[in-house]
């Protein structure tokens, strides 16, 4: 459900800040995601928890994909050990690929700007 809701709002949530995509617009989209997730979940979470859950899951999947890629490119190692991908992980990879294709034009990761992290 979380991935589906983020995917429906990915242009704003994952897009770079601009005159059309403001921090307030991103916050509103995350609130909508949180409401949708909480409507079917037994555990109620706030916006920050939902954002952290998504960010953590996305980071874990990226690491898994990077490790698989590096194992694939090893010379003389034989057949690489392929990872078993869960459907949710595959969905997140597809979401990340869509983001990469559409591009990222800002100098910062948009969530870093919202959170006030500039280092």
The 10s digit of each residue's pLDDT in 16-55 is 999 999 999 999 999 999 999 999 999 999 999 999 999 9
Helices 87-102 & 47-72 angle (0-180, nearest 10): 90
- State the pTM of this model: 0.72
Residue range 77-114, pLDDT digits in tens: 666 666 788 999 999 988 877 655 555 455 555 555 55
Tokens of 57: 């899951």
What pLDDT is stored for residue 118 in this prediction? 46
The four Cα atoms 15, 64, 44, 35 give a dihedral, to 10 degrees, of 30
């Amino acid at each position: 459900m979380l991935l589906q809701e983020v995917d429906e709002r990915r242009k704003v949530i994952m897009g770079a800040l601009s005159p059309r995509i403001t921090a307030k617009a991103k916050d509103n989209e995350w609130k909508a995601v949180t409401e949708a997730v909480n409507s079917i979940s037994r555990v109620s979470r706030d916006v920050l928890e939902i954002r952290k859950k998504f960010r953590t899951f996305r980071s874990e999947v990226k690491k898994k994909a990077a490790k698989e890629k590096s194992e694939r490119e090893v010379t003389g190692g034989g057949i690489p050990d392929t990872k078993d991908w869960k459907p949710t992980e595959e969905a997140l990879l597809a979401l990340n690929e869509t983001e990469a294709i559409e591009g990222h034009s800002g100098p910062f990761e948009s969530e870093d700007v919202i959170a006030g992290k500039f280092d």
